[in-house]
A and B are shown apart, each in its own frame.
Chain A
Amino acid sequence: MTAPYPPICDVREVNHRKYSEVAMRLTEFLRKGSSAAHAERLVNELRGRRSDGANNSSVKERFEHLAQRWRTETDGYSMVRKKIQHHDYQEIIGELGYQAVPLILRELKLRGGHWYHALSLLTAENPIPPELAGDVPAMRECWLQWGRSRGLVDSE
């Protein structure tokens, strides 16, 4: 039987692919609204690769370093599309992967920031309803609520 969707990428190749290529395919995938099961399979496979990496403490330190530099260097950009092209943002997605999600949510809670693209790519989800597009406090709250419901954000 033919698969209903073409494979996003061969996961065996992920280690050798650049972030941008994988991210582009994920972006296209999300845009097309492909099946949730397919997205989950892909994300789980990527999670598996990433969890082989550094321990939690070094992931946290690495994330903080990258996130702080990303903020400093892109705070002045007027367009999110330019902010998310920054190498540190890409490294958080491509190298830290799903392990960064709780850290991103915490950063979002404490300091805000345009983390929505990274969260969508890493989780293959978008809890922001179309009517809240661009309402940044509401977008933030949608993701924090998403995180709380999964135990990834402190509830207080």
Chain B
Amino acid sequence: MKECILELENDHPKLREVWYERTSPCTDEYNCLAFAAGDLCHWWEPGCLPPYYWPLIQHDLTVPSFIEAFKTIGFSVVPDATPQPGMEIVAVFVDENDQVSHAAIQEEDGLWKSKCGDRFDIRHSLDDLNFGKLKLFLTRPRIIRQLPDYDESEECPYHLELQKRDAGPEWRKAEF
């Protein structure tokens, strides 16, 4: 099994027992918040140095601040995740400090999609991931996401590099 999948399942052990599907290559170019926002060209995160992308001047990940940020791209709060025709729903998770820790987007069939850190996107059920406590849902008219092509038979470039690195001193000597 591919190393990145093993690592994902170590972080989210429930995925070993349930169905889920990988849907993209590994990339550090966007995170779950950007993915939920529909922006695959930026990493969305407030309060970093140097800064990453965030739509507001106020930089924090409290729930009210997060709602304000997502309001700027058309989202509003809804009480539950009942699918509505033509609408998309984002599920927002928080950590033990009530800071936003993850966001997942609902597909039209009711399943969810998440970008998992620097790894890949997966289709999954809402309670399969270990990203924190489900806090609220946001909705807006559905947009079309241009997802990167993914060939399951291809190895991630990053993990190929690691394999080379682990191959031993010959590669190391040649490389340095």
Contacts and interface: CB of A to CB of B under 8 A. Distances in A.
Nearest to B8: A76
Contact of A128 (B4, B50, B131): B50
11 contacts: A75-B7, A76-B116, A77-B118, A78-B32, A81-B45, A81-B48, A112-B28, A133-B51, A133-B53, A134-B45, A137-B29
Q: Interface on chain A toward B: helix, strand, loop, or mixed SS?
A: helix
A4 B144 CA distance: 53
Interface of B: 4, 7-8, 11-12, 28-34, 41-45, 47-54, 61, 101-102, 115-119, 131, 157-158, 161-162, 165, 176
Residue from A76, A78, A128, A130 whose CB has the most chain B CB atoms within 10 Å = A78
Interface of A: 27, 30-31, 60, 64, 68, 71-72, 74-81, 110-114, 116-117, 120, 126, 128, 130, 133-137, 139
Contacts of A77: 117-118
A114 to B, nearest CB: 7
B101 A78 contact: yes
B50 A136 contact: no
